[in-house]
Amino acid sequence: MSDPRHDALRRKRYEADDLVGDKYVLVRPLGEGGMGTVWVAQDQVLDVHVAIKLVALEAGDGGGQARRMLEEARTAARLVHAAIVRILDFGVTRLGDPYLAMELLHGEDLADLLARERCLPPLSAVSTLLPIAHALATAHEAGIIHRDVKPENIFLATTDVGIQPKLLDFGIARFTDRVQRLTLEGAVLGTPDYLAPEQARGQKVTPAADLWSFCVVLYELVAGVCPFQAPGYYELLQAIVENEPVSLAERGVDEPELWQILERGLSKQAPARYPSLRDLGQRLAEWALSRGLNEDVTGTSLRRTWLREADVAGHELPGAADGGTPIAVRVGAEAGGAAIPPVDLARIPQSAARVSFGDDEVPIHEALAALAAVSELGDPDDLFARVSRRRYRVVAAFLVAIVALGAALLLAEAGVLVGWACSHGGVGSPAAGVRALGRVTGGPRSGRDRAATVARAWQRARG
């Protein structure tokens, strides 16, 4: 455990107006992170504000924190994603402490939101965290494990177009294809509430650990508390390893389908969880779509992001309880471009709910009929692309014709075409040259100036 007096001394090592990395002027402290202090700084080169993360190394550290910071910079630099904070620069201060320069975000982290609101409606919670699921899936596919997914590391950035969740702090992330350990033997990195059982046991960490932590965060955002509770650190680790999570229903949240998704993600054994965060995200997107949510908190289409070239089968439509038969709806086109199969409208109960389109409501029969009609033409995106390509070809042909006609007129004005017609077409007189020129340009030539031009061209061709 760190000494508070030592922590205070570390904070005093840097003050406002200090110069970091020869171009960043510290403006004000922004907060304390898991590995250091974050400052607002002015980039003197670009004249913009950035966030500077500083770590004051402790005596006897042996460079471990510096290596972690370098690992964080290299890790984040490999990841280009809207829901991952951008690392702009890395260096060492005049005192020998490593620093990271990051994009400056405005907003609040998920921990602050939970402290204020306690919880969110299930649909809002899923909408908020789906971009983070996509970011983690992207990181895992690049061979990177975050290992510390928690509300403090999920920032809800305010942008000109709305909210953009951002995943922070890859400080204790590591590459799955590396064997280097940056932690002390036996040390555990991560917040206990969100640790996966294999992390609590000190076993090898895989992307399944991030999947577990993500499910814990989503559970807390929906229920207001974490799925495992204990009075102390070690008791909490034991509960995570041995106890079953408390269901959402026991927490007063009546969402059995959502609980089924979370329950699998909170399986004690990693192989029993979802194969990947992309699979988990797809299941959450399907659940949200079945509840009428079409976009995540950033306004991104759930179908385009999660269900492209995937099937959504077996969703029970509203009204099935009245004796109707659930039908399977295929979203998106097959990989080969086949259309969505027709829907048997006769099998849908007449008491089914209505679908909202803006301010209008349409019976679900009419909506599915429209979907079936569109599907007969193929994938709408492919249709739009084909129409656009056809339009571009027509415009290009028209422009080429205009340019060719203009060039022909200019050459005719200079007498070049008449001379060519006389020398290559067997023309023996200016009149014949005029007729040849007429065939090229589409009409006869007349006028004193044009006749003189033809005569000069004919003389050059003969002589």
Q: Confirm if 80 and 41 have CB atoms less than 8 A apart.
A: no
Cα 184 off chain centre by? 35
Question: How many Cβ atoms are within 10 Å of 97's Cβ, its own excluded?
Answer: 20
Q: Looking at per-residue confidence, does 82 or 432 come out higher?
A: 82
Q: Which residues in 298-444 belong to E strands, given as ranges?
A: 354-357, 360-363
Per-residue model confidence (pLDDT) at position 365:
62
Dist. CA 228–CA 309, nearest whole Å: 37
Q: Confirm if 337 and 366 have CB atoms less than 8 A apart.
A: no
Of the listed 97, 109, 148, 296, which one is catalytic? 148
Per-residue model confidence (pLDDT) at position 143:
86
The residue among 213, 316, 210, 324 whose CA lies nearest residue 257 is: 316
Give the burial class of 149: count Cβ atoms within 10 A of its Cβ; 0-12 exposed, 13-18 middle, 19 or more buried.
Answer: buried
Q: Which amino acid is at 371?
A: L
Q: Looking at per-residue confidence, does 272 or 343 come out higher?
A: 272
Alpha helices per DSSP H over 154-201: 197-200
**pLDDT tens per residue across span 250-308:** 999 999 999 999 999 999 999 999 999 999 999 999 999 999 999 999 999 999 999 87
**pLDDT tens per residue across span 83-120:** 999 888 888 888 888 888 999 999 999 999 999 999 99
Q: Which amino acid is at 154?
A: I
Q: Looking at per-residue confidence, does 409 or 314 come out higher?
A: 409
What tokens were used for 90?
């890395």
The structural domains of the chain, ordered by start, are 1-104 (3.30.200.20), 106-308 (1.10.510.10), 309-378 (no CATH), 386-462 (no CATH)
Using only C-alpha atoms, what is the Rg of the chain?
Answer: 34
Dist. CA 195–CA 264, nearest whole Å: 16
**pLDDT tens per residue across span 60-79:** 556 666 777 677 677 777 78
User: Taking the model in full, what pTM does it have?
Assistant: 0.63
At residue 153, does pLDDT exceed 80?
A: yes
At residue 314, does pLDDT exceed 80?
A: no
**pLDDT tens per residue across span 10-67:** 555 788 999 998 899 999 998 876 567 899 999 999 999 999 988 766 555 566 667 7
Dist. CA 422–CA 210, nearest whole Å: 82
Q: What is the mean pLDDT of residues 309-320?
A: 42
Highest mean pLDDT among 152-161, 340-349, 359-368, 408-417 belongs to 152-161
**pLDDT tens per residue across span 173-221:** 554 443 333 443 444 555 689 999 999 898 989 999 999 999 999 999 9
Q: Confirm if 140 and 277 have CB atoms less than 8 A apart.
A: yes
Dist. CA 460–CA 35, nearest whole Å: 87
Per-residue model confidence (pLDDT) at position 311:
46
Please provide the DSSP assignment of 40-102 as one string: EEEETTTTEEEEEEE--PPTT-TTHHHHHHHHHHHHHHH---TTBPPEEEEEE-TTS-EEEEE
Q: Is 148 a catalytic residue?
A: yes
Q: Confirm if 245 and 266 have CB atoms less than 8 A apart.
A: yes
Mean pLDDT, the chain, integer: 76
Helix (H) or strand (E) segment spanning residue 278: helix 277-290
